[in-house]
Structure 1
Amino acid sequence: MTETLDGPRLAPASGGPARQLVIFLHGYGADGNDLIGLGREWQHLLPDAAFVSPHAPEPCGMAPMGRQWFALTRLDPDEYWAGVRHAAPALDAFIDAELDRHGLDDSRLALVGFSQGTMMSLHVGLRRARPAAGILGYSGALAGPEHLDAEIAARPPVLLVHGDRDEVIPVAALQIAAQTLGRAEVPVQWHVSHGVGHGIAPDGLALGGQFLGEVFAVPAGRP
């Protein structure tokens, strides 16, 4: 049985119906409350967007108050690959339900992930039948890069942002992901935040908001 996900939501700041949907996917040991604040930061850029940040389906083994998309016993590529495959059906079902809730299709969807949530965003977003408007990944990695060519179904624009002092997922993961996506003909951009560890710095936050405005074709300077 597929786990039913839920989490905090923000309605469009415009007060009208949603014209875009942004789904945040949090990192290991956090929950949906960890990223929903990014929606408040970006509401002025995307006044017609609905934001939702689901709690991952499992209690976190290493942080009992938090959640996990999949278990981690070590920073191991095989564990990443098994984990994203295990968690994908629940996330796909949640995406479908949220799009249906707002009467939108994948072309009006953006996935925004952090760390383990970036792994989920890239895994699911590149395998859906129709491409999303975009995928924004912070401090994450592409799980199972060797499997992408055989499984890719969609090529939405991707922006990857990473700190050069990340002590959890080294910045080299960004380069591997960007190179793999580029070879798969996915339009990918990337940015390294200097002096930043495993987190989101102001420059990455600003670039992320700009990226979402571009993929959703929101007029620049719109209040």
Structure 2
Amino acid sequence: MLSEEIVDYPEIKPLSGKADKLLVLLHGVGSDGHDLIGLVPFIQEALPHHHFISPHGVEPYDMAPFGRQWFSLKDRDNTTISQLVKNNSAKVEKIIEDKQNELGIKNSDTIIVGFSQGTMMASYLTLIQKEPFAAMVGFSGRLVKPADLNNTSTPICIIHGLNDDVVPASQSKEFAKYCENNNINYQLHLIPNLTHSIDGSGMQFALNFLRGIK
């Protein structure tokens, strides 16, 4: 039986003064929050007023004796995945809302960043919000479309390696097309010779995107 989500997770306070913005990092399947929190030292100087959190996936990884997941990938059917994401999205929202309430921060000052499966959850969460997030960045993932599109206001940054052999870069192209079709402000960055990972050029592209968010 899958256990409840882990409440304690890595977080890093802002470099400068009281936090007035929140950045949430959602890791890939089979990993945990300690993975993406390692990105913070490379981006914190550019975002000095942000509080960073990197929650652990809300379920234990069900295909290995270690790691966490946001939802199961045993069944890769799109309808099944959409339902699982919908089922678990409220748990992820609760983690974010609890930290927002603690810091006195709203969605309008919250950025969601995902990698791989974390991008799948982040995309769904972004598109269902009634109060838009400030921005979303998705690395090496794909879109999970909600049945009801509530939010087209959050700008979205999509980054993917063209040599990704885990999640094909075509998934990010489809994500970008969805944004275009629904009048969502987006930027797409495809990186030659990059596999299923985050590299320096992708991070720089994401930071340039975030610096442009008002």
TM range (shorter): over 0.9
Which secondary structure state, in structure 1, belongs to the residue aligned with residue 128 of structure 2? coil
Q: Distance in 2 between matches of 1:173 and 1:105?
A: 30
Equivalence map 1:204-223=2 (5 Å): 204-215=202-213, 217=214
CA apart distance, 1:5: 4.1
Q: 1:74 offset after TM fit, Å?
A: 4.7
Cα RMSD, aligned residues only: 1.6
In the other structure, the counterpart of 2:81 is 80
Where 1:35 maps in the other structure, the secondary structure is: helix
1:4 and 1:165 map into 2 onto residues whose CA distance is 33
SS in 2 for 1:51: strand
Query: Residue 21 of structure 1 corresponds to which residue in structure 2?
Result: 22
What are structure 1's unaligned runs of at least 5 residues? 218-223
Aligned pairs for 1:128-207 (under 5 A) are: 128-144=129-145, 147=147, 150-207=148-205
Number of positions where the alignment pairs a residue of Structure 1 with one of Structure 2: 211
1:144 to 1:48, Cα distance in 2 relative to 1, 3 A: closer
Instruction: Assess if the C-alpha contact under 8 Å between 2:163 and 2:196 holds in 1.
Output: yes
Amino acid in the other structure paired with 1:8: P
In the TM superposition, residue 62 of structure 1 has moved relative to its aligned partner by 1.8
Q: Which consecutive aligned stretches of 4+ in structure 1 deviate over 6 angstroms post-superposition?
A: none
Secondary structure of the residue that 2:212 maps to in structure 1? helix
| Contact 1:5–1:57, Cα closer than 8 Å, also in 2 | no
SS at match of 1:17: coil
Provide, for residues 12-67 of structure 1, a one-character-per-residue CA deviation record: whole Å limited to 9, x for no partner: 011x1101100000000000001001111111101111100000111101232200
The gaps in structure 2 that reach 5 residues or longer are none
Which deviates further from its counterpart, 108-117 or 3-12?
3-12
The letter for the 2-side match of 1:123 is Y
Q: Which amino acid aligns with 1:106?
A: N
Distance 2:212 2:53 in 1: 20
Measure the CA separation in 2 of the matches of 1:105 and 1:139: 27
**In the alignment, which residue of structure 1 is the partner of 2:12?**
10
% identical equivalent positions: 35
Tell me the TM-score normalised to structure 1 length.
Answer: 0.89
Equivalence for 2:91: 90
| C-alpha distance in structure 1 between counterparts of 2:210 and 2:80, whole Å | 30
Q: Deviations over 1:178-218 (max 9, x none)?
A: 11111111101100011011111111011112222222x4x
Secondary structure of the 1:137 match is strand
State the SS of the aligned residue for 1:151. Answer: coil
What is the CA–CA distance in structure 2 between the aligned matches of 1:123 and 1:177, rounded to whole Å?
11
Please tell me the residue identity of whatever aligns with 1:174: S
Q: Deviations over 1:142-187 (max 9, x none)?
A: 1137x3xx33334200000001011111011011111111111110
2:98 is aligned with 1:100: no
Alpha-carbon shift at residue 4 of structure 1 (Å): 6.6
Partner of 1:221: none
Deviates more, 1:28-37 or 1:2-11: 2-11
Alpha-carbon distance in 1 for matches of 2:80, 2:118? 15
Q: Which residue of 2 aligns with 1:40?
A: 41
CA distance in structure 1 between the partners assigned to 2:66 and 2:139 by the alignment? 22
